[in-house]
Amino acid sequence: MSLGRPAMDSFFASLPGSPGPASSLQQVAASSSPVLILGEPGTGRSTFARRIHAAGARAAAPLVELDPAAIPAALFESELFGFRAGAFTGAERSQAGRVARAEGGTLVLDHVEELPLSSQPKLLRLLAERRYAPLGGSEAVADVRFVAIGAHDLVSRVERGLFRPDLYFRLEVLTFILPPLRERAAELEEIVAAMVLDLGERFARPGLELAPSAWTWMKRYGWPGNLRQLRNLLERALLLADGPLLDPPPPAESGSGAPISIGEAERRAIVAALDSSRGHQGKAAALLGISRKG
């Protein structure tokens, strides 16, 4: 997901719960303190994490991401710290962990709220001491900046005993709370304009603009999927448009049992194929069994 850099700076620089005004984004990027980014899915948390890395002194060094939700608890330590050959059965050769791969750069911990309680002390020690040891190896110093991405209810999880308070306080040195798109209606036009421009450049379709009729519903819509949903909707509209005018229909309400026309069924099939192929028109055509020749 991309907002386009100017709109991204505008959208992220002044946020409720952030360390300060617009200028703080550069200040945060310049430091090496841990950053905690909270928000609903689709609010641009990963994009913001990459923006912090790109704007800082570590930009030339690696940006490495780790999603605890995608790793079994038993493998988290070896994935984070790595291991040496012979450290355990099946470890025939050494493997660098995410910390070592991010040396000098930034380690982004996505869905940090999904980290099992049994694994949280390992991360806490790394943050507190900046030292770690690969399984079967000797201790090393970690020169890494930590950026954690969490759910908007992370504090509630702390209160319910699902996330360690001491780990939370280690991470929340610099906290950004990314609000849902429905709370930033005043910026919607700027965000849409930046996304349309970015999509036009990506697909070599200059001069794109949003149909006035689309604004009628877009300004009233609640955007449960936030920026990601908006981006996907605009991309679909572009791929289905014959000219420069984008006129996306309102998202269909879930659970509707109303019959649909053949044309609407065909449109939905096209959208589904584009979703499956991540916007690749040739692959979408293959999925639909049609030819793009002639």
pLDDT value at 53 more than 80: yes
Q: Is 28 helix (H, G, I), strand (E, B) or coil?
A: helix
Asked if pLDDT for residue 6 goes beyond 60, the answer is no
Q: What is the pTM of this model?
A: 0.76
For the cut 80, the answer to whether the pLDDT of residue 277 exceeds it is no
The CATH code for residues 5-179 is 3.40.50.300
Overall average pLDDT of the 106-115 stretch: 95
CA distance 242 to 42: 28
Q: For 163-178, how does the pLDDT look when each residue is reduced to its tens digit (9 = 90+)?
A: 999 999 999 999 999 9
The number of C-alpha atoms within 13 Å of 245 and in the hemisphere containing its C-beta is: 7
Residue-wise pLDDT for 57-110, tens only, equals 999 999 999 999 898 888 888 899 988 887 787 877 888 999 999 999 999 999
CATH topology classification for 182-288: Helicase, Ruva Protein; domain 3 (1.10.8)
Checking if the pLDDT of 210 tops 60, the result is yes
Average pLDDT value for residue range 27-41: 91
For residue 20, which phi and psi values (nearest 5 degrees)?
Answer: 180, -160
Q: State residue 129's pLDDT score.
A: 94
pLDDT of 141 above 70: yes
Confidence band for 230, pLDDT divided at 50, 70 and 90: very high
| Burial tier of 167 (Cβ tally within 10 Å: 0-12, 13-18, 19+) | buried
User: What pLDDT score was predicted for residue 21?
Assistant: 38
Tell me the average pLDDT of the chain: 83
| 146 Rama class: left (phi>0) / alpha (psi -120 to 50) / beta | beta
Predicted local distance difference test score (pLDDT) of residue 270: 72
Where along the chain do its domains lie?
Answer: 5-179, 182-288
DSSP state of 117: T
| Closest among 164, 151, 145, 150 to 34, alpha carbons compared | 145
